[in-house]
């Protein structure tokens, strides 16, 4: 039984996406349901900072018997690790560009420099671990090229073919508005306001079809009239999620994040630009400087994302909730929540 057993519809959403296990993983560690998880391997992630209700996530990681982290940096998550396996950077390994494949092109990124220090590419770390655990047959490849050739075999592509086309290859020419000739990627091929699949799964086929007026925002109606809607997601082009916040040349141009307030809210609370603010919710608090901006609506504060890697008190997920989860996807609403400005 997977730990996501209570969300079977989303488990079957896409054949290659796997289970969306983040919130359920924390349940399994802390509550030991549907079974306890004692050991964890974290690769290319920083869940102690990026997952909703960060304080609860930290409690879970403290409870683990054994944690392995594969990463380039000593992240907040890596600080909980029993073993850290240093991974290479993107210039030190050959790999497929996953982001480009979402838009069809298959692009190969070639290794351009040798591994530095004791680091290893992710593929070698995982393949070597697999073989040491007795899975030689499942990990027969001795190079990234061999593994990529195996991965691409159904398409007829190879590493050698991709290296002849450094700009990438796509199956069909780039085309816009494909829905006009092919329809949409829905069972009917049309825009669907009524989801037959959700209805068959016992879920409302139309949002709020049952007439529910419950506020979907976490902590609504619990923090008083002065509460504001907190939203996360303001991201700089200098950083990716929590990555690169410790690179001096990048931080020099942007040394910290901000809470954006509308001028009306700032005036009503006598808040000036650059003032340190403490925001709180039932889950915790953050401390960050104010920025006055009409990029947000009155009654809304926008909180910079990713700075919890640098300062635990700047982690927007100190405020987010993981209790109220979508019944289909099992995911919490970590992009909107009610919060208060305490100072």
Question: Within 10 A of 144 (CB to CB), how many other CB atoms are there?
Answer: 21
DSSP string, 304-343: ESSGGGT-GGG-GGGT--SSSB-TTT--B-TTEEEEEE--
Q: Does residue 240 register a pLDDT over 70?
A: yes
Per-residue pLDDT band at 212 (split at 50, 70, 90): confident
CATH number of 228-341: 2.40.40.20
Residues written for the chain:
343
Please write the tens of the pLDDT for every residue from 79-112.
999 999 999 999 999 999 987 777 778 999 999 9
Q: How many alpha carbons fall within 13 Å on the CB side of residue 2?
A: 16
Q: Would you say domain 8-163 falls under CATH 3.40.50.300?
A: no
Per-residue pLDDT band at 7 (split at 50, 70, 90): confident
Please write the tens of the pLDDT for every residue from 191-210.
999 988 888 888 889 988 87
Least confident of 18-22, 46-50, 63-67, 149-153: 18-22
Q: What is the pLDDT of residue 238?
A: 85
pLDDT averaged over the chain? 90
- What predicted TM-score, i.e. pTM, was given to this entire model? 0.87
164/225: higher pLDDT:
164
> Distances in Å between the alpha carbon of 151 and those of 162, 250, 272, 333?
13, 35, 55, 35
Find out whether 189 and 183 touch, Cβ atoms under 8 Å: yes
Per-residue pLDDT band at 12 (split at 50, 70, 90): low
Q: Region 242-270: what's the mean pLDDT? A: 91
Q: What is the pLDDT of residue 301?
A: 96
Q: What is the pLDDT of residue 48?
A: 96
Q: What is the pLDDT of residue 18?
A: 63
Domain boundaries, the chain: 8-163, 228-341
Please write the tens of the pLDDT for every residue from 288-304.
999 999 999 999 999 99
Same fold, 8-163 and 228-341: no
Look at strands 336-341 and 228-234 and give their pairing: antiparallel
């Amino acid at each position: 039984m997977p730990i996501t057993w209570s969300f079977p519809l989303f488990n079957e959403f896409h054949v290659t996406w796997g289970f969306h296990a983040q919130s359920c993983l924390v349940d399994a560690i802390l509550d030991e349901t549907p079974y306890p998880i004692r050991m964890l391997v974290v690769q290319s992630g920083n869940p102690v900072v990026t997952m909703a209700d960060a304080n609860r996530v930290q409690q879970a990681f403290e409870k683990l018997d054994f944690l392995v982290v594969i990463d380039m940096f000593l992240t907040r998550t890596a600080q909980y690790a029993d073993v850290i396996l240093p991974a290479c950077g993107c210039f030190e390994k050959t790999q497929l560009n996953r982001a480009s494949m979402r838009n069809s092109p298959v692009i190969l990124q070639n290794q351009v420099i040798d591994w530095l220090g004791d680091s290893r590419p992710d593929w070698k770390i995982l393949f070597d671990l697999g073989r040491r655990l007795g899975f030689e047959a499942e990990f027969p490849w001795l190079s990234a090229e061999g593994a990529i050739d195996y991965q691409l075999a159904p398409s007829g592509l190879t590493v050698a073919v991709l290296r002849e086309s450094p700009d990438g290859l796509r199956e069909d020419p780039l085309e816009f508005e494909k829905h006009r000739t092919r329809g949409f990627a829905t069972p009917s091929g049309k825009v669907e306001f009524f989801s037959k699949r959700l209805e068959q799964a016992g879920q409302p086929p139309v949002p709020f079809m049952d007439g529910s007026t419950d506020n979907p925002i976490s902590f609504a109606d619990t923090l008083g009239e002065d509460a504001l809607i907190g939203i996360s997601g303001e991201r700089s082009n200098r950083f990716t999620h929590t990555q690169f916040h410790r690179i001096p040349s990048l931080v020099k141009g942007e040394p910290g994040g901000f809470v954006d307030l509308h001028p009306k809210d700032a005036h009503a609370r006598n808040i000036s630009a650059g003032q340190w603010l403490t925001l709180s919710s039932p889950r915790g608090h953050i401390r960050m400087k104010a920025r006055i901006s009409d990029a947000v609506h009155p009654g809304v504060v926008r909180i910079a994302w990713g700075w919890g890697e640098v300062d635990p008190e700047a982690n927007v997920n100190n405020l987010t909730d993981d209790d109220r989860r979508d019944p289909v996807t099992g995911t919490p609403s970590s992009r909107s929540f009610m919060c208060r400005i305490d100072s």
